[in-house]
Amino acid sequence: MATKDPKKFIIGGALYTLLFVAGSEQIGGKDTDNKCGGEERWTYKVLEDNEANNISETPSLTTIKDLTSINTKTKDAAYSEGRPRADFEKKVYTIKHCFITKVLRENDNDLHLVIEDGAGNTMIAEIPDPQCPDAKKSIWIEYFNDARATMFQYRSNFRHYMFTVTGVAFVDRSHGQTGKAPNNVEIHPILEIKKEKKINPIQQ
């Protein structure tokens, strides 16, 4: 794919001052080799596939419940290595008022977030490793960098805040992932994370 100016989009939401720093949280996972990259629909996960240029640049406001209610059992949406993006995978979504309950470093060096809505609905949202060669080819690379930096900023107290998460929908293969949605829809990749307000720490 030819090099282009990075995508730009408009995201609403208030910013709040960091008021409280304390930590029992941490980034978990057993990956220690620092190797990046994967295989399954990998170009889709880093927005380097042939359809990435067709992704709508204006986020649609949605909820975890709505995304996890999408029917992914149809021919056009079920997980398949060779299939093109489903229509809902061509959109950027914003989910407000998320709780991040767990952060894991995956074997591909992505950051695997479990996000919840406070009503029992959970899903996975992932941030690619921006140092990975495939990710570096993406015209969205600056967003991977910023999202990753934000997550590391709150790595020790992410359960003390609500967040707004923005990214592209993606259907993954079910393989026992922590926090996965019933329909295997994820936000992958995350393009932006914004801290909202301070909350009482989530106990997990």
pLDDT in tens, 85-111: 999 999 999 999 999 999 999 888 899
The CATH topology of domain 42-77+85-198 is OB fold (Dihydrolipoamide Acetyltransferase, E2P) (2.40.50)
Percent residues over pLDDT 70 in the chain:
83
- Separation of alpha carbons 39 and 51, rounded Å: 18
> Does residue 58 surpass a pLDDT of 80?
yes
Sketch the domain layout of the chain as residue ranges: 42-77+85-198
CA distances from 6 to 31, 72, 93, 122, 168 (A): 30, 30, 18, 30, 15
Please write the tens of the pLDDT for every residue from 149-166. 999 999 999 999 999 999
The Cα-based distances of 24 to 112, 150, 153, 155, 175 in angstroms read 18, 18, 14, 10, 28
